[in-house]
Each structure stands twice: as structure tokens, then as C-alpha cells.
């Protein structure tokens, strides 16, 4: 049975959003969302600044190949972007 989101809580469409934001803000110098979008574009995929914002707020799905590019653009591992604990619901 699928879990349905509560009316007051938006559906979460990725696990990595908070870590993307954390890595972007920890970068030295700090990266803006536009600078991250530009880095991602230089690596071969297009994610707009708005797309980065939606990823960070977990409103946009992240494809597996995007995960790898985001990790490279942020100079972190793909594993680091994934949360340490995830609850599996059947």
C-alpha cells in the first residue's frame, strides 16, 4: 500500500536535497544556486537555478545520473549526498 502525503506536508521527491544545500553552502567560496547550476551545465547536463532550488527543497526528482553530476560539481561523493538513515516503507 502506498503512503499518501498529508495535506499540509508536500510530497518529498528526493533524499539528497538537504545535503546538496549543505555541500553548496560549505563550499569555499560558497556557491550560489546559479553557480551550482553553471557547474552542472559545464559537466554536461542542464539543471536551472530553479531546478537546483527545487532539488534542495525536495520538490524535484533527481535521476541517478544527475546525482553523480551533482556530487562531482559539489566535490563530494555520491554516497555522501545520500542520507545516513533511510526508512524503508513497504
DSSP 48-78: -HHHHHHHHTT-S---HHHHHHHHHHHTS-H
User: Residue 90 above 50 pLDDT?
Assistant: no
pLDDT confidence tier of residue 88, bands split at 50, 70 and 90? very low
Phi, psi of 54 (to 5 degrees): -70, -35
User: Residue 44 above 60 pLDDT?
Assistant: yes
CATH architecture classification, 17-79: Orthogonal Bundle (1.10)
pLDDT confidence tier of residue 87, bands split at 50, 70 and 90? very low
Domain ranges of the chain: 17-79
What is the mean predicted confidence (pLDDT) over 13-18? Answer: 95
pLDDT confidence tier of residue 65, bands split at 50, 70 and 90? very high
pLDDT number for residue 22: 97
Q: Does pTM top 0.75 for this prediction?
A: yes
Amino acid at each position: 500500500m502506498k503512503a499518501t502525503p498529508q495535506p499540509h506536508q508536500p510530497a518529498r521527491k528526493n533524499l539528497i536535497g538537504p545535503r546538496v544545500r549543505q555541500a553548496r553552502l560549505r563550499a569555499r567560496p560558497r556557491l550560489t544556486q546559479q553557480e551550482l547550476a553553471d557547474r552542472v551545465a559545464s559537466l554536461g547536463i542542464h539543471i536551472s537555478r530553479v531546478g537546483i532550488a527545487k532539488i534542495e527543497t525536495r520538490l524535484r526528482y533527481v535521476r541517478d545520473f544527475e546525482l553523480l553530476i551533482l556530487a562531482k560539481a559539489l566535490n563530494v561523493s555520491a554516497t555522501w549526498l545520500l542520507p545516513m538513515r533511510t526508512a524503508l516503507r513497504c
